[in-house]
Amino acid sequence: MSSLNLVSPPKTSSPGMTFGEERKLRLFVQKRVLNQDDADDLIQLTYLEAWRNQEKFKGLAKPDTWLCGIALNL
């Protein structure tokens, strides 16, 4: 039986950045992607990309603005 390697939640550079809160991101994505499954996939990819690049978040923008920018560029 193989063990499952779980990834720990991202360490954020801003205490206001919560990856559980996705309301603004979801609204942003759903305005641009009409298919719900595609929107869910894009949101998941956005969080993955944010996690991979969390050291680049300097706090110059609000976290949800940063996430929307990532989604826009995917």
CA dihedral 22, 23, 24, 27 (to 10 degrees): 110
Is residue 71 within 8 A of residue 25, CB to CB? The reply is: yes
Which pLDDT band, with edges at 50, 70 and 90, does 61 fall under?
Answer: confident
| pTM for this prediction | 0.71
Task: Give the Å distances, CA to CA, from 1 to 4, 71.
Answer: 10, 37
Kindly report, residue by residue over 7-53, the tens digit of the pLDDT.
555 554 444 456 556 789 999 999 999 999 999 999 999 999 999 99
- Looking at residue 59, its pLDDT comes to 87
Helix (H) or strand (E) holding 29: helix 23-32
**How is the chain split into domains, by residue range?**
28-73
Average pLDDT rounded to a whole number, residues 48-72: 92
Note the pLDDT of residue 15: 45
